[in-house]
Amino acid sequence: MTALPRRIGMLGGTFDPVHIGHLRGALEVAELLELDELRLTPSARPPHRDMPSVTAEDRLAMVQSAVAGVSPLTVDDRELKRDKPSYTLDTLESMRAELAPRDQLFLLLGWDAFCGLPTWHRWEELLEHCHIVVLQRPDADSESPDAMRNLLAARAVSDPKALKGPCGQITFVWQTPLSVSATQIRQLLASGKSVRFLVPDAVLAYIDARGLYRAPNTDGSS
C-alpha cells in the first residue's frame, strides 16, 4: 500500500521571545490543515529585521521549552547553524530535499510578511518548494500589494483544505486575534512588569532564571 503524503508546516521567526500568539496561531493551523508536523524555525540573522535581543541559544531553548509535549509542534534549528543570513528559500530547499516527492510542505506567514514578499531573496521561487499559508487577522488591512495580485489570481485557493500537490498554491487562514507581540513582552520585562500568561510558564521560568530582557537596574520575578 502506498503511504499517504506527509504534511509538514514551517513557521519561521526570531521568537524573541516566543509567546502565546505564535503558539496559538501555529496550533490552530496545524489542526485545520491536519499537519503531521509543524516546525517552529528560529532564524539566526533575519535579513529583513533587526538582530534579536538575546542569543540564538536562548531563543532556541525558549522555543524548545514552549513546544515540549505539544504535538504536532516541533523545533527545527537548521537556520541557527548557518553562518549567513537566514533566507527562507534556503530553508525550504533544505527541508524539501529531506521529504518524499509527494509530501506537502506549508510555509506559514503573517499578513505583513506576506505583503513584504517582493523584497525577499528570490521570493518568486518559494512556491516551487511549498504552499504558502497566510495567517490573517480580522483587524489586518486586507488589501494586497500590487506586486502580489497576479500571483494571487493564479495561485490562490479559497479553502485551505483544498490545497493540492506538494507545493505551488496560496491560501488564507483566519486567526484568533491575540493582542500580544514580542516587542510588547520585551518592553514589559525591561520595565520590571509581569509577562505571565503572555508566554508559556516554561518560557517565563527560563527568562527569569537568566534575567533575559531585563534593564540593568531591574530585578524581581516576571
Site of grid cell 509538514: 8
Q: For the segment 75-126, what is each residue's pLDDT rounded down to a tens digit?
A: 999 999 988 887 999 999 999 999 999 999 999 999 889 989 999 999 999 9
User: pLDDT-derived band of residue 47, with 50, 70 and 90 as boundaries?
Assistant: low
Give residue limits of the domains in the chain: 7-178
The better pLDDT of the pair 215, 194 is held by: 194
Q: Quick one: pLDDT at residue 169? A: 98
Closest CA to 35 of 75, 73, 82, 76: 73
DSSP for 6-50, please give it. PEEEEEEE--TT--HHHHHHHHHHHHHTT-SEEEEEE-SS-TTSP
DSSP 42-110: E-SS-TTSPPPSS-HHHHHHHHHHHHTT-TTEEE--GGGG-SS---HHHHHHHHHHHS-TT-EEEEEEE
CATH T-level assignment (fold) for domain 7-178? Rossmann fold (3.40.50)
Mean pLDDT for all residues in the chain: 92
Between CA 10 and CA 88 the distance in angstroms is: 10
Beta-bridge partner residues of 113 = none
Tens digits of per-residue pLDDT, 161-187?
Answer: 999 999 999 999 998 888 899 999 999
